[in-house]
Amino acid sequence: MHTTPLHPRFGLVFHDVNLSDVTADHLFPEIRQAFETHSALLFRGQDLSDAEHTRLGHLFGPLENRESMALGTDVAFEVSALSNRTAKGLREADDLRLLDLQANMLWHTDSTFLPIPSLVNIITAKVVPDTGGETEIASTRVAWAEMPEELKAQLRDAVIWHRLSHSRSRISEKLATLPRMTRWPDRPWRAVWPNPVTGEEALLIASHAFAIEGCGLAQGQALIDRAIAHCTQADYVYSHKWQVGDVLIWDERATMHRGRPWDYAQERSLKSLCCSATDADGVPSVRVV
């Protein structure tokens, strides 16, 4: 397979690969190895149906089904639509779903508030605006390796607590109090996630992070903010301008990401799914017993 760098520090672009043809034995082993070593992968010119999108997700691991997790029962899985369009038209500026999309413009890692963290996000573009609406990815692996020792020492053995409503409260208090934002109990994870394949470490952090065990709330939040600011310096960030048919895949263990604003009078529609990390992906190393 022909590849080129996505960013000087991380990531790969795959050329001439049709993801609809990928199977467990055909091309996926090479894709999975690139995922482990490069953290972010881009495939252009794809046309994934929801069924093909789901099948690709299964190759990475168990599909993350939040409704099933929350209810404790089997709920049919659906690929998530990230869109400002509804059946009635484009959402108004104060629409809570649009505000939720805006909360994703904070630097975050998906699902750190869930009982099982995410391994991967696989996201594809269906409709894109003329300008804006980029997705930015920051390598918390490269940033961690180059973090000042004084800051690194405070985080290496830290336990960080995560809460979904914490990030949503920074956008809208009304959004933060919705039942689907408050239904998850606060979740602790160890701050450093070693990759079990490469041995490289990355910082597990997100806008959902609100406290560090053993620190006062203000002190902990200040340390979290410093760490996120370090990881999101321009040298560690790739900004992706979407084209219809792009598929972007990133390692949740080694990156943060955020969306960027666009003219909400234009449609932006992406489809996304996450897969849950397993013990083989290194979950025991970040789980707090």
What is the tens place of the pLDDT at every residue in 103-139?
999 999 999 999 999 999 999 999 999 999 999 999 9
Q: Smallest Cα–Cα separation from 17: which of 28, 6, 32, 5?
A: 28
Residue that has been written with the tokens 């918390």 in this structure = 140
Contact 124, 56 (CB under 8 A): no
Work out the pLDDT band at 57, boundaries 50, 70, 90: very high
The tens digit of pLDDT for each residue in 79-112 reads 999 999 988 899 988 899 889 999 999 999 999 9
The tens digit of pLDDT for each residue in 221-247 reads 999 999 999 999 999 999 999 999 999
Work out the pLDDT band at 72, boundaries 50, 70, 90: confident
Residue ranges of domains in the chain, CATH in brackets: 2-286 (3.60.130.10)
Q: What is the DSSP string of 225-281?
A: HHHHHHHTSGGGEEEE---TT-EEEEETTSEEEEE--B-TTS--EEEEEEEE--GGG
Residue 198, pLDDT score? 97
The tens digit of pLDDT for each residue in 24-37 reads 999 999 999 999 99
Sign of CA dihedral 203, 206, 208, 212: positive
Residue 194, pLDDT score? 98
* Residue 62 pLDDT > 90: yes
Q: Smallest Cα–Cα separation from 122: which of 212, 65, 54?
A: 54
* Residue 71 pLDDT > 90: no
Residue 94, pLDDT score? 81
| 196 vs 230: CA distance, rounded Å | 24
CB neighbourhood size of 85 (10 A): 15
Percentage of the chain beyond pLDDT 90 is: 92
> Who has greater pLDDT, 17 or 70?
17
Residue 117, sorted as left (phi over 0), alpha (psi -120 to 50) or beta, turns out to be beta
Burial of 210 (0-12, 13-18, 19+ CB in 10 A): buried
How much is the pTM? 0.95
Work out the pLDDT band at 12, boundaries 50, 70, 90: very high
Written as six digits, the tokens of 104 are 């994703």
Please report which helix (H) or strand (E) contains residue 83, including its range: strand 80-83
Residue 88, pLDDT score? 87
> Who has greater pLDDT, 1 or 53?
53
Residue 178, pLDDT score? 94
